[in-house]
Each structure stands twice: as structure tokens, then as C-alpha cells.
């Protein structure tokens, strides 16, 4: 699936901010080190992907209690959940002038008790966007850098209510950042989530995030459980896996503010 660019200005996908701080010396040093072994931008992107996927541990997989969110900190500490690792890869790619955006999937909890939001990235090559998932491999997960067909960590199962959100964003979702920034450690991450009564966020066309009314059906409290993910279903046609009712219109992001510790560990 090629995601839909929500900001028409391509330069937005090269920008630095507090989260994607690719101007930071740590990011610049890491990018320069990786670039020395790359013959072109494609080779650099593949090296940066492999570095974040393999050298930066997924904190849940590694049992690391630390919570990171800023790209430079993720690289310095060498750990992070899916969203944090996506921020780090985005910064490394933008540091070398490769347009990169953030995108999301809606996945089911391991125990079937609700859904969670998983973060990944998309990189622009050859006039098209290609999604990549640096969350880190483990049994049942074999994500690889690819511009010729997606090799993601997870393929949404439509029958389980899973889907790909079609939007591609220049900045991370504010609810995800709020949860990560306020959590003192991974074990208490869920305590820093926005109030369950808070209105769902909605991405605005042209960039940025707005707020809408409550998601249909109201907030849903999902059970929290850590578990190893088994093999995902074989990939289906992208249209059948895209969140229904959204098409080219930004989704309401119902439930994205309910990202939980289980989501950040299991899906991240």
C-alpha cells in the first residue's frame, strides 16, 4: 500500500522538530557513519533501516524499562518502542535529505481484547512512498527494507478488525508523544495516557493535527497483556486492508489516544 501524503509540501517530510531532531549531533554523527558505507541514497536508507531495526532494541523485547521518544535519545540509549524507533529512522533518513513520513496501523491485542496503534515509516524513492517497519525482528516477525513489495512486521487481518491507516504524516501523533513523554518507565507507560474522555484526534489536510468529537461508540478500554506475536496472515490486497470509510480522507483515529503499554510492546 502506498500511503497518502497529507501535507502537499514535500519539504515538510524533511523538517526537523523536537521529536524528529535530525539536527542533533548524535543523529548527525550516526548518519555520517552510516553514509560512509553507502554508495547512494538507496544504500544509505537500507543501512539506516537495518541499524535502527537491529542496533536499537525494542524495549519490550529486551525487557528494558526505559521510555524514549526523541530521535536523538533513542539513538543514544539504543532502545525504544515501535513509535520511538520510527522517530529515530525518520530522523536518520531526513538527515541525508531523504523525504520520510510517519504512518500507522490498527492491530488487535494478542488476547483479542481491543485494538492498538502501531507506528512505522514511509520513505520516498522514485516518486513514490514505500512503507518500512524498523520495530525489530523476533520469532514470527521478519521485517526488511524493500522498495519492491512491502516486507513489514505485521500484515493487518481484516477479519480481526485490523487495518492500515492510509495517511502519511510529517509529525508524530500528539497523543502518542504525550504518552511517551510523560511516562517515567515502560511499566508505568499506561498511566501517562490522555484521559479516556479526551476527544479523538484527527489529522488536518495540509499538515498538523486537529481534534474532533468523541470516537463512535466512545473510548474502549482494552485489556493489557504482553505476549509474543505469532506469524501474521499472508498479505492481502491493500484496498481490503485499508481502514474502511476513510479512503483518501484522513481517519477519525478512533481509539488512537488509547495506545497502551501492551500496544507499544506487542505491536511496536
CATH code of the domain in which 70 resides: 3.10.620.30
pLDDT at 22: 98
Range of the domain at 259: 4-267
- Domains in the chain, number: 1
CB atoms within 10 A of CB 138: 13
pLDDT at 111: 63
Q: Look up the pTM and report it.
A: 0.78
State the helix-helix crossing angle for 82-95 and 41-55, rounded to 10 degrees. 150
Q: What backbone phi and psi angles, to 5 degrees, belong to 199? A: -65, 150
Could you tell me which of 203, 175, 200, 202 has the C-alpha nearest to residue 190? 175
- What's the whole-number average pLDDT of the chain? 77
The Cα 97–Cα 90 span in angstroms is 11
CB atoms within 10 A of CB 48: 29
Q: What residues does 164 pair with on adjacent strands?
A: 105, 242
- For residue 125, give the H/E element and its range: strand 115-125
pLDDT at 33: 98
Could you tell me which of 132, 126, 156 has the C-alpha nearest to residue 144? 132
pLDDT at 191: 52
- The whole-angstrom distance between residue 227's C-alpha and the CA centroid of its chain comes to 19
Q: Hey, CA dihedral for 206, 256, 22, 48, is it positive or negative?
A: negative
pLDDT at 112: 65
pLDDT at 133: 98
CB 61 within 8 A of CB 267: no
pLDDT at 118: 86
pLDDT at 233: 34
CB 202 within 8 A of CB 250: yes
Positions of the chain with pLDDT under 50: 193-202, 211-240, 244-267
Q: CA dihedral defined by 268, 105, 162, 155, rounded to 10 degrees?
A: -70
CB 46 within 8 A of CB 148: no
Amino acid at each position: 500500500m502506498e500511503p497518502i501524503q497529507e501535507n502537499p509540501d514535500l519539504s515538510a517530510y524533511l523538517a526537523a522538530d523536537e521529536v524528529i531532531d535530525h539536527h542533533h549531533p548524535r543523529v548527525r554523527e550516526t548518519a555520517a557513519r552510516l553514509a560512509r558505507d553507502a554508495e547512494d541514497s538507496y544504500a544509505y536508507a537500507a543501512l539506516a533501516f537495518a541499524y535502527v531495526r537491529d542496533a536499537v532494541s525494542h524495549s519490550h523485547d529486551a525487557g528494558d524499562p526505559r521510555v524514549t521518544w526523541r530521535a536523538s535519545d533513542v539513538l543514544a540509549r539504543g532502545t525504544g518502542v515501535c513509535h520511538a524507533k520510527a522517530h529515530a529512522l525518520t530522523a536518520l533518513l531526513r538527515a541525508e535529505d531523504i523525504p520520510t513520513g510517519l504512518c500507522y496501523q490498527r492491530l488487535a491485542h494478542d488476547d483479542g481484547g481491543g485494538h492498538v496503534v502501531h507506528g512505522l515509516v514511509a520513505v520516498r524513492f522514485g516518486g513514490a512512498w514505500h512503507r518500512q517497519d524498523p520495530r525489530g525482528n523476533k520469532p514470527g516477525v521478519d521485517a526488511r527494507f524493500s522498495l519492491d513489495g512491502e516486507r513489514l512486521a505485521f500484515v493487518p487481518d481484516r477479519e480481526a478488525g485490523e487495518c492500515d491507516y492510509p495517511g502519511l504524516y510529517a509529525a508524530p501523533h500528539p497523543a502518542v508523544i504525550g504518552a511517551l513523554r510523560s511516562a517515567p518507565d515502560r511499566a508505568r507507560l499506561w498511566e501517562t495516557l490522555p484521559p479516556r474522555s479526551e476527544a479523538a484526534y484527527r489529522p488536518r489536510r495540509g499538515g498538523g493535527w486537529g481534534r474532533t468529537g468523541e470516537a463512535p461508540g466512545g473510548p474502549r478500554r482494552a485489556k493489557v497483556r504482553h505476549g509474543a506475536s505469532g506469524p501474521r496472515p499472508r498479505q492481502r490486497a491493500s484496498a481490503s486492508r485499508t481502514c474502511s470509510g476513510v479512503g483518501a480522507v484522513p481517519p477519525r483515529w478512533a481509539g488512537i489516544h488509547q495506545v497502551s503499554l501492551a500496544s507499544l510492546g506487542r505491536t511496536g
